[in-house]
Amino acid sequence: MFDEYYKDTCAIRKSDMIAFLQENSVYSLKDGIGECEATVQIYVGEKEKQSMKKSAKIIHEKLQDSFIQVLPNMYHGEFSINHADDYVRKLLEIVKRR
C-alpha cells in the first residue's frame, strides 16, 4: 500500500502540491459543524505536528458525539498506511455497531 501511495505522491505536479498545501494552511471549520449528528471518530498521531493535534482537538470539541484517540508513536496518515490491518479492523468495529 505504501508503494502505491508513494508512487501517486511522486506523480503530483509541483503546482498542484503548492496549491494543496496552501489550501490546507487556510482551512477553517464551517460554522454548522456543531450541528453534525454523526458519531465521529478522530485519530491523530502522537508524532504529528502540533497544528494537526490542535485541529483534532478543536474538531473533537465542536462535535458533541465524537471520540478522539491519540495514536502512540504515529505520524500523520501512518495509521491507515502502515497499520492497514488495524485501521480496517477499527472501521469494521464502527460499521458493526451501526
Q: Where are the domains of the chain?
A: 2-27+39-97
**How remote is the C-alpha of 47 from its chain's centroid?**
13
What local confidence, expressed as pLDDT, does residue 1 receive?
A: 64
Residue 36 to residue 57: CA distance in whole angstroms: 16
pTM: predicted TM-score of the whole model, two decimal places: 0.71
The yes-or-no verdict on residue 63 having pLDDT over 70 is yes
Contact present, 41 and 66 (Cβ < 8 Å): yes
User: How does residue 35 score in pLDDT terms, banded at 50, 70 and 90?
Assistant: very high
Average confidence (pLDDT) over 41-55: 94
DSSP class of 75:
-
The yes-or-no verdict on residue 20 having pLDDT over 90 is no
What local confidence, expressed as pLDDT, does residue 9 receive?
A: 85
